[in-house]
Amino acid sequence: MERLVVLGGGESGVGTAILGKQKGFDVFVSDKGSIAERYKKVLLHNAIDFEENQHTKSKILNANLVMKSPGIPEKVALVQKLMVAGVKVISEIEFASKYTNATIVGITGSNGKTTTTLLAHHLLKQGGLDVGIGGNIGDSFAKQIAEQDYKEYVLELSSFQLDGIEEFNSHIAIITNISPDHLDRYDYDFEKYIASKFRITKNQTEKDFLIYDADDKAIQNWLKNNKVKAKLVPFSIEKELEFGAFLRQDKIIMKLNTEEVLMNVSELALKGKHNTKNAMAASMAARLLQVRKNTIAESLSDFEGVEHRLENVQKINGVQYINDSKATNVNAVYYALECMEAPTVWIVGGVDKGNDYTDLMPLVREKVKAIVCLGLDNQKIIETFQNVVEVMVETAGAEEAVKVSHKIAKKGDAVLLSPACASFDLFDSYEDRGNKFREAVKNL
């Protein structure tokens, strides 16, 4: 019996363990931290051997195959030891894909992944397809294959997940955009990060499709210098295209087999230029899978947005409070500030991932009246913006940040939590940060 060791007892780890056991592996789950109670129950219920708060090397190094959770870097000593010993170390996506014949729509990019994934899933479901959603969202891909294999999947894929693929393939791959993010995992080398995103095209053939943002410089440059076998399907809001999706007088046009007017931008449920692009990408994926144009247009106009992404929390004394806690990098904040129409009190900060804030300078000058720092180390933010905004305050928690913002903001202003950073200095996750922000607003 082949031994499958799963490193990490979270969603992807436990899903892999369930599928591995079902497929006849001798499965062992090992987590350096503690495993959440709900996952422990699942492992016990399935009689899967596990350990927490340690890695017992003798139980790991004898593996035939190792599935590493995406949060564990390859540079970790234990992973390096496995590789030197010639043990194959793969991602959950790679492992699970061997056990399904489903058509996969894989979505990656620095920003817009979650929205585009949810949108594409919504369009395919409304189009009558038997479709699951996974990757970074909801139940793990592996668990779904074990319990109720769908005919199609829409998967949100991070660069960390793509780093662990060998044979996995998306029939339709979408790259929403590429901007510097997670550079701490890529030796602070943007080119390595770009190459990691393009691993989504690694196993594509001439029968597959790559949908991508034709306005994105990093994507354009990579495609100029590298060959992709898949059919290229671009989208743009800056220029008309001979093939793909683009804007003409505020109408979204799709040119795949024939030219079709999809809908007016004003009819989209999600506002902002970035969401127009997300809608274009998701629509073309749906159209390539034979969903009717009218179904797509209807579904785009009734779609509800993503939690913690430009989410209107409440209006108090004429001040709109907006939760954009999911904006964990500079590019995501760029989109958020671009959407702001009122003078903005911007709450920013957290664990810096190698951010360069200079791209935000024109928007901060134009739209931001005050900056409220929310992080343990705000030095970089202060140095960048101290001569740009008049008011800058440091705070040490969501409640304090909201109270300070409340004092600064006047009727007609907006208070925007859009941190540009990871959350782990003060919070468990970006969701936890967003929830605490919401709570603090409700307690004003």
Give yes or no: residues 279 and 416 share one domain. no
Domain boundary among 65, 90, 115: 90
The answer to whether 164 is annotated as binding is no
pLDDT given at position 188: 79
Number of structural domains (the chain) is: 3
Q: Say whether both 268 and 390 belong to one domain.
A: no
Q: Residue written as tokens 């430009």?
A: 310
Query: Among 50, 65, 90, which residue terminates a domain?
Result: 90
Q: Do 82 and 59 share a domain, yes or no?
A: yes
Indicate if 132 and 263 belong to the same structural domain.
yes
Write out pLDDT tens, residues 85-136: 999 999 999 999 999 999 999 999 988 888 899 999 999 999 999 999 998 8
Same domain for 151 and 284, yes or no, is yes
Mean of per-residue pLDDT scores for the chain: 92
CATH number, residue 81: 3.40.50.720
Measure the CA–CA gap between 417 and 321, rounded to whole angstroms. Answer: 8
Q: What is the mean pLDDT of residues 383-394?
A: 93
Confidence (pTM): 0.76
Supply the range of the domain harboring residue 282. 95-302
55-82 pLDDT, tens per residue?
Answer: 999 999 999 999 998 888 888 899 999 9
CA distances 98 to 95, 168, 292, 308, 319, Å, are 6, 8, 30, 33, 51
In terms of pLDDT, which residue wins out, 240 or 302?
240
Give me the sign of the Cα torsion angle 12, 93, 296, 220: positive
110 belongs to an annotated ligand binding site = yes
Give the model's confidence band at 137: pLDDT under 50 very low, under 70 low, under 90 confident, else very high: confident
| d(C-alpha 35, C-alpha 160), whole Å | 21
Are the C-beta atoms of 13 and 142 separated by less than 8 Å? no
Do 57 and 149 fall within a single domain?
no
Q: What is the mean pLDDT of residues 416-441?
A: 92
Task: Assign residue 272 a region (left: φ > 0; alpha: ψ between -120 and 50; beta: otherwise).
Answer: left
State percent of the chain over pLDDT 90.
Answer: 75
Question: Was 111 annotated as part of a binding site?
Answer: yes
The answer, yes or no, to whether residue 182 has pLDDT greater than 70, is: no
Q: What is the pLDDT of residues 219-236, one digit of tens each?
A: 999 999 999 999 999 999
Distance, in Å, from the CA atom of 342 to the CA atom of 363, rounded to the nearest integer, reads: 12
Do 136 and 202 lie in one domain? The reply is yes
User: What is the token pair recorded at 432?
Assistant: 């936890």
Residues contacting residue 65 through CB under 8 Å, at least 6 positions apart: 2, 3, 4, 5, 25, 87, 88, 90, 95
Instruction: Verify that 409 and 298 share a domain, yes or no.
Output: no
> Which pLDDT score, from 0 to 100, does residue 123 have?
97
Domain limit, last residue, from 238, 268, 302: 302
Helix, strand, coil in percent for the chain, rounding step 5? 40, 25, 40
Instruction: Please check whether residues 250 and 367 belong to one and the same domain.
Output: no
Angle in degrees, CA 128, 133, 139, rounded to 5:
135
Q: Are residues 324 and 417 in the same domain?
A: yes
Q: Are residues 336 and 270 in the same domain?
A: no
User: At residue 41, what is the residue type?
Assistant: K
Please check whether residues 129 and 171 belong to one and the same domain: yes
CATH code, domain carrying 256: 3.40.1190.10
Q: List, for residues 339-353, the tens digit of each pLDDT value.
A: 898 999 999 999 887
114 assigned binding-site residue: yes
Q: Kindly report the CATH number assigned to the domain that includes residue 341.
A: 3.90.190.20
What are the C-alpha distances in Å from 315 to residues 305, 319, 339, 413? 18, 5, 17, 10
